[in-house]
Structure 1
Amino acid sequence: MDASCDLELDVNGEQTFFIHKNIISSYCGRIRNLFIKSKGPTTNLKVIFHDFPGGPETFELVSRFCYKDGNIDINPYTAPRLFCAAHYMEMNETISGSQNLLEQTKKSIDEIKFWSWAELLSALKNCQDLVPISSSTGILQKCMDSLVARLVYASETSPSCPSSSSPDSLGIRLSTDSKSTESLKSGFLRPTNWWFEDLVSILTPNLVKLLVKSIVLYKFDNGVTSRFLFYYQKSRFINATSDEKREITETIIDSLCLLDQNAVSCKSLFGILRVAMNLNVKNIYKNNLECMIGSQLDQATLDNLLVSSPYGSNYLYDVNLVLQFVKYFLAGKIAREIPASELKRVARLIDSYIKEVAPDPRLKAYKFLALVKALPDSARDSYDEIYHAIDIYLQVHSGLSDEEKTSICSCINYDKLSTECCNHLTQNDKFPSRFATLALKSQQVKLENLFSGMDLQKRYHPSPHEPMETRTKGEKHKQVVLYAQQVASQGTKVDIVKENEKMRAHLEGMQWRVIELEKVCRKMQTQMAKMLKSRLSRQSSAKSLPRLCS
């Protein structure tokens, strides 16, 4: 060792440097303070750094700065490392009238808006190796904000095209100076995902969320951002271990939660869900993902919902997962008013799902019941699908107790069953007999309501100008007759209890009432036709008279 090199310095256990104590301490406040506090010998000194930012390569740049009296080339590739090292070594004092290292690097970083895209990516990559130092000094956030600002600026000034390219490959220095602005406005085209591969190659999962936070702050396109996240997950999975895949997936889920959910693809969320279930991600991320899917459940398909049950479960499909989706969907109703059309779409989807899982012989009655009751009655205009699903379930699960059958059959709103389903129900021995009676009663109420409407039409005397409407009402009467005959005929097919016999007689009486009303309607039509003919005749006579001379 040279006699002038009286200080041995170990950098992170990776490399040892022999330097002159006085030279290094004159520029580095951290080294100088160590010797001021030390009361030991001043020869054969050794200093060990365990967390020097940037490692031996960066320390070599620092020592070069010291040996050259503060003269060193600082560029976008070295500025982030030197800036963090200057903070770490407390190099904030001016020596011999020249700027200290901290001031020089800070000045270079302040010109970040003039850096090229490649220089910015390099700086961002270097910052990742300097965490947490780069985070505490703010250099990492500056690089990220500048990068997102470029993306926003590029998206606002340049349309997309089918070819893949980056700003530098197009000959564009993507910054905010006047030269860059003119280049961007000159008509170069590029797709919205031109930057995906660049960032996938340099960003660690830890920085992906930081990127998304900046994107949200700068109001960059959330749809493009969500596509980047799915692309990142797919690309990084190629060579990742199981633990790395889990970290990436958790990062993607966490980042997607920051975006506008309307900009996130429901299909892609289900893709992430299947991956997450295989990787056993933490419950907090799984719950967040279920919440995101639930918020846009109306966009899902039946195939999306048919997720296999977890390993070790005794049923075919993951019913609990679908129940969670519905729970989160309805929870959104508290925060926002769900449109009726959206609610009904979800009801149709869930009804199809219930019908699909009903044949599963291992599906417990209480789970099936929970599915049927998951949505409010107002979500369904018709219970036909639910009826068919229950019919299948009762056929497969013939060993249900009477209590379980009653609980399941009670879930149907019989007022919302079609005539066809009621006809089927009256002959369905899988349903307890009292539910057939309930179905007939609901049909009776419908008939009575229709008869009330017909009585109002009887009292209504339309003007001669409405012959078509009158004929339409006549057709409606005929439809009511057919409807009443169809419902009343069920009384002859059902012989359950005395109450059904009485109901049949009552319905037959109502059928005769409908026939009488039809006769009255025909008579009204004849009278109105005569009135119209008479009125037209009078108008024709009036037109044939000569006009009086004035």
Structure 2
Amino acid sequence: MEMTPSNLAMLCSAAHFLEMECDDDDGPAGTPNLKPQIEKFLDGIRFWTWSELLEALKLCQGLFSFKGYLEILDRIVDNLIERLASPGITSPNTCSSNRSSFQFSCATSSNNSWRNNCSGATWWFEHLLFLKIDLLDKVIRTMISYDFDHGVVSRFLFHYHNSSCLGAAQAEKMESTKVVIDLVLLLESRSISCKDLFNLNRSAVSLKMSRSCINKIESLIGPLLDQTTIDYLLLPSPHGKGQAYDVDFVLRLVHIFFFGGSFELTSNRLMRVAKMMDLFLVEVAPDPHLKPFEFEALITVLPDAARESHDQLYLAMDMYLKVHAGLSEKEKISICSTLNHEKLSAELLRHLTRSLVFPSDAKPRAYVTRQSRMKTLLQENDHLKNFFESMFRKSFKNMEANEDVEKRSYDAEELRGDWEGMQNGTQMASMKKSGTHIMSNAMYLPKLCS
């Protein structure tokens, strides 16, 4: 019988069950050994077409149970990954059987990264959906060992997971989810879509996966929290809790963001998370079943430096206190203790002073003094500050000009008095000069004071 990619799996199975895989000395007398022939046939695997390679891989999945034939499966998987990782492979047609295109050198691969060779090439996703879950694990690990693009690998994993769960039984869904979670953990966090992780988490929660599996997903989501949106945080509360949303889930993600990630916590990342948390607070504040200690935990989970403004925080507190009117004064003070008056806008600061739901200890000691109002006004309206400064400078210039005029008038009168004194006598000139001097000073002082 001629060996072909389509009957390779059948021949391997026959050799195993008929014990035609042993050396001549070990096997039954006269029994041929098929294994060397199969291995020799695989030497020409680089000449197979893409369809032949896929067919052989699909049919050979059962070889996992035959330890002696795992190396045959390894050779098929290796050749498949080499073709996908080769530059310029964008379709099955370009996966040709050219001898020179698919020769693999370990020395070359150790020096030259294969990363990004297949970036954006997702044409093969549908071709590999036939993989059973144990073979999927082997294929993905081989891709990673070949330094395959992690972004493409993660996209394929989520695509595979969504497809494999359609119409599958509960046990199959759980097995697929568990394997995908473990494989995603092998990838770089930056290459994984935050949206796909949240969808994977929803699937795991709905399947009632173990706490350890869900913790693994959350460990991946936490460091990417600044990349998500408010919609993905609004996860329904677990059964048995009266809350509308899962507050504990959000608190765990924030904790991982601060303490469980390897990324640098820049100010921009902190501010993005703070804005999203403020939006989440506004969403959960009207929930009548949200306990005071839970709301307080959401408020205090972020450091004060993460928020540039406390306006959204104030609005969330205002809504929560109105809905939970029966809180004690101690509970209200504990909730409002985080509020920073200096980070409130002037409008909300005035609203706080008139609010009846906030405890008195949460309000400014002196509501708003005249000095603080002027300071706030000048800060928010810088053009008024510039206007006042220009007016003061103009007034001083006018005063200096008037002073020069008065001085010149005084000098003129003094000269005129001297001239008349020479004509009419020194006494009259002296009186006139003195009187003029007093009048000049009397007119000048009020202008300076004004």
Calculate the TM-score normalised by the size of structure 2: 0.74
State whether residues 355 and 389 of structure 1, in contact with CA within 8 Å, keep that contact through their aligned partners in structure 2: yes
SS of the residue corresponding to residue 46 of structure 2 reads helix
Between 288-297 and 93-102, the greater mean CA deviation after superposition: 93-102
Give the secondary structure class of the aligned counterpart of 2:129. helix
Question: Residue 362 of structure 1: SS of its match in structure 2?
Answer: coil
Q: How does 1:279-318 map to 2 (within 5 A)?
A: 279-318=207-246
Quick one: distance in 2 between partners of 1:243 and 1:436?
57
The 2-side partners of 1:322 and 1:205 are apart by 31
Deviation at 1:247, TM superposition (A): 1.7
Counterpart-to-counterpart distance in 1, 2:289 and 2:196: 30
Out of 113, 121, 133, the position equivalent to 2:54 is 121
Q: Is the 8 A contact 2:346 2:376 kept in 1?
A: no
Q: 2:88 aligns with which of 134, 151, 157?
A: 157
Displacement after TM superposition at 1:106 (Å): 2.1
* Aligned residues of 2:247 and 2:294 also touching (Cα < 8 A): yes
Within 5 A, what are the aligned runs for 1:365-444?
365-437=292-364, 440=367
- The structure 2 residue matched to 1:350, chosen from 274, 277, 291, is 277
Describe the SS at the equivalent of 1:281: coil
Residue number in structure 1 paired with 2:106: none
Instruction: Give a deviation string over 1:247-295, Cα, whole Å, max 9, x none.
Output: 2222222222222222222222222222221111222221111122222
AA partner of residue 296 (structure 1) = L
Deviation at 1:305, TM superposition (A): 1.1
CA distance in 1, matches of 2:242, 2:9: 57
In the alignment, what sits opposite 1:490? none
Matched, 1:196 2:196: no
Alignment of 1:78-97 (within 5 A): 78-79=7-8, 82=11, 89=19, 90-93=21-24
- Name the SS for the 2:64 alignment partner: coil
Are the structure 2 counterparts of residues 110 and 377 from structure 1 closer, same or farther at C-alpha, using a change threshold of 3 Å? farther
CA contact (8 A) 2:285 2:317 kept: yes
2:99 to 177, 194, 207: 177
Partner of 1:140: 73
Q: CA RMSD in A?
A: 3.6
Partner of 1:276: 204
Change (3 A) 1:393 1:140: same
Residues 225, 527 of structure 1: alpha-carbon distance in 2 compared, 3 angstrom cutoff: farther
1:444 Cα offset (Å): 6.8
Question: For the structure 1 residues 350 and 524, does the alpha-carbon distance in structure 2 shift closer, same or farther, using more than 3 Å as the test?
Answer: farther
Whether the 8 Å CA contact 2:282–2:312 is kept in 1: the answer is yes
Q: Distance in 2 between matches of 1:359 and 1:117?
A: 58
Residues 1:276 and 1:435: Cα distance change in structure 2 (over 3 Å): same
- Contact 2:63-2:70 within 8 A present in 1 as well: no
Alignment partners' CA distance in 2, 1:297 and 1:177: 47
Counterpart secondary structure, 2:240: coil
| Aligned partners of 2:158 and 2:196 also within 8 Å | yes
Among 52, 71, 75, the alignment partner of 2:4 is 75
The 8 Å contact of residues 297 and 325 in structure 1, kept in 2 or not, is answered as yes
Which residue matches 2:107? none
Q: Secondary structure at the match of 1:121?
A: helix
- Other-structure match for 1:227: 155
Shift in Å at residue 326 of structure 1?
0.9
Distance 2:400 2:54 in 1: 86
Q: Write the letter of the residue equivalent to 1:146.
A: N
**Aligned with 1:111: secondary structure?**
helix
Alpha-carbon contact 1:414-1:439 (below 8 Å) kept: no
Does the C-alpha gap of structure 1 residues 129 and 408 become closer, same or farther in structure 2, counting only changes over 3 Å? same
Deviates more, 1:239-248 or 1:305-314: 239-248
Q: Which runs of 5+ in 2 are unaligned?
A: 104-119, 402-450
Structure 2 CA distance for aligned equivalents of residues 284 and 430 of structure 1 = 42
- Contact 2:81/2:143, CA 8 A, preserved across alignment: yes
Residues 476-534 of structure 1, C-alpha deviations (whole Å, 9 max, x = no match): 355xxxxxxxxxxxxxxxxxxxxxxxxxxxxxxxxxxxx8x7864545687999xxxxx
Matched, 1:249 2:177: yes
For 2:71 and 2:397, how far apart are their aligned partners in 1? 87
Task: Please give the per-residue CA displacement for 1:34-90, whole angstroms capped at 9, x wherever unaligned.
Answer: xxxxxxxxxxxxxxxxxxxxxxxxxxxxxxxxxxxxxx5333334456457657835
**Structure 1 residue 446, shift from structure 2 partner:** 9.7
Pick from 236, 248, 257: which aligns with 1:329? 257
1:434 offset after TM fit, Å? Answer: 2.3
| 3-state SS in 2 of match to 1:129 | helix
Contact 1:351–1:385 under 8 Å retained in 2: yes
Deviation at 1:373, TM superposition (A): 1.2
Deviations 1:300-319 (A, max 9, x none): 11111111111111111111
Mapped partners of 1:272, 1:320: distance in 2: 18
SS state at 1:312 partner? coil
* Residue 476 in structure 1 maps to residue 404 in structure 2: no
> Which residue identity is paired with 2:22?
M
TM-score normalised by length of structure 1: 0.62
Higher RCO (C-alpha under 8 Å, 6+ residues apart): 2
Is the contact between residue 46 and residue 102 of structure 2 (CA under 8 Å) also seen in structure 1?
no
In the alignment, the residues of structure 1 paired with residue 382 and residue 290 of structure 2 have an alpha-carbon distance, to the nearest angstrom, of 49
Compared CA separation, residues 391 and 444, structure 1 to 2 (3 A): farther
SS in 2 for 1:239: coil
Deviation (angstroms), 1:216? 1.6
Q: Is the Cα contact below 8 Å between 2:341 and 2:364 reproduced in 1?
A: no
C-alpha contact 2:133 2:179 (8 A) present in aligned 1: yes
Note closer, same or farther for the CA distance 1:104–1:247 as it changes in structure 2 (3 Å cut): same
Q: 1:424 deviation in Å?
A: 1.0
**Matches of 1:249 and 1:443, distance apart in 2:** 63
Alpha-carbon distance, 1:412 to partner: 1.5
Maintained 8 Å contact 1:297/1:346: yes
The residue that corresponds to 2:286 in the other structure is 359
Q: Distance in 2 between the 1:316 and 1:117 partners?
A: 51
Question: Does the 8 Å CA contact 2:285/2:316 hold for their aligned counterparts?
Answer: yes
Task: For 1:127 and 1:402, locate their aligned partners in 2 and report how far apart those are by CA, in whole Å.
Answer: 71
Are the equivalent residues in 1 in contact too, given 2:12–2:69 (CA < 8 A)?
no
Q: CA deviation at 1:97?
A: 12
SS in 2 for 1:313: coil
